[in-house]
Amino acid sequence: MPRRLQSVPNFSEGRREGVVRDIIEAATTPGLKVLDWSSDPDHNRSVVTVVGEPEAVLAGLRAMTARAVSLIDLRTHRGSHPRMGAMDVVPLIPLLEMTMDEAVALADRLARELAAAHDLPVYLYGEAATRPAHRDLSRVREGQFEGLAAVIGRPERRPDYGPARLHPTAGATAVGARGPLVAFNVNLSTPDVAVAKRIARQIRESGGGLPAVRAIGLALAGRDETQVSMNLVDFRRTSLGVAYRAVAEAAAAAGVGVTSSEIVGLAPAEALLAEAAGALRLAGFSSGQVLELRLLEEDEAPAGLEEGSRPR
C-alpha cells in the first residue's frame, strides 16, 4: 500500500482570486493531489488540503511557499484571522503507512529547507515542537506579524530555523505535525466581536471549557456578523454537535442567535458519522453501513474475501 501524507497549508490571502489560484497551482507535481481549497475574504486567508506521497507533498509545499513569499506582502495585509506569515502555517498529517514520528522528521526537514531557501524564520509546532510552549500554535503566533517583530530576538521567541528577525514582507512560518482535526466555525447574528470573543474564551479548553477545543472570536465585517472559529483537535473528545451546542447556548444567553456553521476544508468521515448517529440515536451503527465507504473498502480489499467476512 502506498504511503500517504496530508498537509493543510494556510496562507495569508483570501481576496485576490488570481493570487490564490497562482499559489495553489504551484503545488502541481506528480504524486500530489489538491483535494480542497477555500478562501475567506473577511479572514483574508486561504486553506488548502493536499495529499500524496511524502516527497511529492514536500515538493508541493516548497513550491507553494515560494509563490506565497513572492506574492504576499504582510505590511499591507489586513484580515480578521491571526497571522504571522505569508505562508502562515504548514501542518503535516500522517495517513496511510506513516507514523507521527515520520511526520515530525519531515516537518523538521521542511522547516529547515524553507528557512534556507527564503531567509525566513520558521518555527516548529504541534508534535514537532522543540519547546513545550510551541506545541500550541497560538503561542507561536502570539503578537502576529506586527508584534512578533519586536520580540523575535528574545531567547524564548527565537525561531527553530532561519534568522531571528522577520522576513520584511513574508514574516515567519510555522511548520508542524499533528493528527487530523476539524476546523469548525459558528457564525453569530451580531456585529459585536466582543460577544464572539467572550464565547470563545468560555468554550475553549484553555479557558476551562470543552476539552481539545481551540477557539477565537472574529469579526465578519463583510457579513455584519461575528464568528466563533474553532479547531476541534480531537473530535472524539469533543464532537461537532457538542461544540455547536455550547456556542449556541452561550450565544442565546448573550441574546444573539446562530446564523450558520461551516466546516473549513475536509473533515474525517468518522466525525460526521458520529454526529449523525448520535442525532438519530442509531444503535450499533458503524461506518461499514455507509454505502460509499463500504464500496471503497471493497475496492481496496484483497481478492477472495467472502461475503460478510468483513467485521461490522
pLDDT at 167 over 80: yes
Chain segment 238-279, per-residue pLDDT in tens: 999 999 999 999 999 999 999 999 999 999 888 999 888 888
Distance between CA atoms of 20 and 115, rounded to whole angstroms? 22
pLDDT at 304 over 70: no
Chain segment 24-36, per-residue pLDDT in tens: 999 988 999 999 9
Residues with a catalytic annotation lie at: 81
- What DSSP element (H or E) covers 182? strand 182-188
Distance between CA atoms of 172 and 119, rounded to whole angstroms? 10
The gap between the terminal CA atoms of the chain, to the nearest Å, is 23
Same fold, 5-177 and 182-280: no
Domain boundaries, the chain: 5-177, 182-280
Q: Residue 305's pLDDT band (boundaries 50, 70, 90)?
A: very low
Q: Which residues are registered as beta bridge partners of 46?
A: 11, 39
Chain segment 212-228, per-residue pLDDT in tens: 999 999 999 889 999 99
Distance between CA atoms of 99 and 91, rounded to whole angstroms? 14
**3-class secondary structure, 1:** coil
- The residue with cell 525561531 is 159
Domain 182-280 has CATH 3.40.50.2300: no
Q: Residue 103's pLDDT band (boundaries 50, 70, 90)?
A: very high
Determine contact, residues 45/81, Cβ cutoff 8 Å.
yes
Which class does domain 5-177 fall in? alpha beta
pTM of the predicted model, to two decimals? Answer: 0.87
Determine contact, residues 61/287, Cβ cutoff 8 Å.
no
Chain segment 42-53, per-residue pLDDT in tens: 999 999 999 999
Distance between CA atoms of 214 and 136, rounded to whole angstroms? 9
Determine contact, residues 72/169, Cβ cutoff 8 Å.
yes
- Within 10 angstroms of residue 66's Cβ, the number of other Cβ atoms is 16
Mean pLDDT value across residues 295-311: 49
Distance between CA atoms of 219 and 241, rounded to whole angstroms? 23
* Cα angle value 96/99/102 (rounded, 5°): 115
Determine contact, residues 41/136, Cβ cutoff 8 Å.
no
Mean pLDDT value across residues 175-180: 96
Q: Residue 298's pLDDT band (boundaries 50, 70, 90)?
A: low
Distance between CA atoms of 309 and 312, rounded to whole angstroms? 9
